[in-house]
Amino acid sequence: MTVLQQIRKAAIIGAGQMGLGIAYVSAVHAKIPITIYDPSSAVLSNATDKYKSLLSKDLTKSRLTKEQADEALSRFNTIKGDGSTADESVKDDVDLVIEAIPEIPELKLGLFKRLGQNLPPSIILGSNTSSISITKLAASAGLGGREDGKKSSERVIGIHYFNPVPIMRLVEIIPALQTSQETIERARSFGKACKKEVTTSSDSPGFIANAILMPMINEAIMVLQRGIASPHDIDLTFQLGMSHPLGPLKLADLIGLDTCLNIQRVLHTETGDSKYRPATLLVKMVDAGWVGRKGGKGFYEYDKDGNVLG
């Protein structure tokens, strides 16, 4: 058995709700310096505020000492851009890159191609995708570039965290067909260093979690669309009748309705199975810009701290 090289430094691409959460558990639990990239200055500034507020919450609740919180703050850096273009490329002094950009196949395939070309194959390229084929991302990382394409694909892996990342205790690991055993072991041990339990799924649309969750959320939206019950009663059915901490519509708002729709579109396209056809109401809500909690309106309305109004 080889001694696994530890992850000592990471880059996270995308500073939305997932990227920020991944940055937090990497810096606080795995105790490594991270740089988080996003093309939007407003998102980066918001992510920095959120990072500080998570630290002060953990400090107040005595989950961190003042010294630990100060150290975690010093490990957090931001850079504007997506980490893959000439002027702001991720440096090759990191051991791991995790992308958490929107769930749009062309965006992620383009990013993996550029990262594959820019970064040596010793650097693991992880994706937090909810549904997109890791095998396709690995193939994209192997296209062209400065190094051997096979080696460049072998370092690609799905590292799928759950929302909110600082609280949810799970990471799903998804090897591509091309992923090396060493990449799998290093990704698993990083998930554990972030204080998560680790499951493994083969590379199949939606992996374990979203292959099951997304049809359930979609059915709940169809029940609402058909006027069978109100959002409150649909959610209460799952909370009190099935002991779910959140009902499916509130969970969809938390995930982001744009993200739910993108995941369902990937599941539908990849499987060709009509059971994954997104509900018309979901499509219309996203068209209206009602993307759930992060935008202030979805099946419920939210204040700026994410509390349900009314």
Ligand X SMILES: NC(=O)c1ccc[n+]([C@@H]2O[C@H](COP(=O)([O-])OP(=O)(O)OC[C@H]3O[C@@H](n4cnc5c(N)ncnc54)[C@H](O)[C@@H]3O)[C@@H](O)[C@H]2O)c1
Q: Interface with ligand X by CB under 6 A: which residues?
A: 13-19, 38-40, 43, 82, 100-103, 107, 128-130, 160-163, 255-256, 259, 294
Minimum distance between the CB of residue 255 and ligand X, rounded to whole angstroms?
Answer: 4
Out of 152, 160, 201, 262, which one is annotated catalytic?
160
The reply, when asked if residue 181 is annotated as ligand binding, is: no
Is 130 considered catalytic here?
A: yes
Name which of 69 and 139 has its Cβ closer to ligand X: 139
Angstrom distance (rounded) from CA 17 to CA 161? 11
The answer to the question of whether 203 is labelled as a binding residue is no
- CA distances in angstroms from 165 to 19, 25, 91, 168, 308, listed in the order given: 9, 7, 25, 5, 20
Which residue out of 172, 180, 218, 268 is catalytically annotated? 172
Q: Are 99 and 71 in contact (CB under 8 A)?
A: no
Is the CB of residue 294 less than 8 Å from the CB of residue 237?
A: no
Q: Closest CB to ligand X among 58 and 82?
A: 82
Alpha helix positions (H), 149-226: 149-154, 181-193, 209-225
253 is in an annotated binding site: no
- Chain-centroid distance, C-alpha 103: 9
Q: Is 160 a catalytic residue?
A: yes
Q: Which segments of the chain are extended strands (E)?
A: 10-13, 34-38, 76-80, 96-99, 124-127, 156-161, 170-175, 197-200
153 is catalytic: no
Q: Roughly how many angstroms between the first and final C-alpha of the chain, as a whole number?
A: 58
* Residue nearest ligand X by beta-carbon distance: 16
Quick one: which H or E segment has residue 23? helix 17-28
Q: Is 242 annotated as a binding residue?
A: no
To ligand X, the closest distance from the beta carbon of 4 in angstroms equals: 25
40 is in an annotated binding site: no
**Does residue 77 carry a catalytic annotation?**
no
Q: Given the complex with ligand X, which of 68 and 163 has the nearer CB atom?
A: 163
Bind-site residues: 14-19, 38, 103, 108, 130, 163, 294
Active site residues: 130, 160, 172, 210
Bind-site residues for NAD(+): 14-19, 38, 103, 108, 130, 163, 294
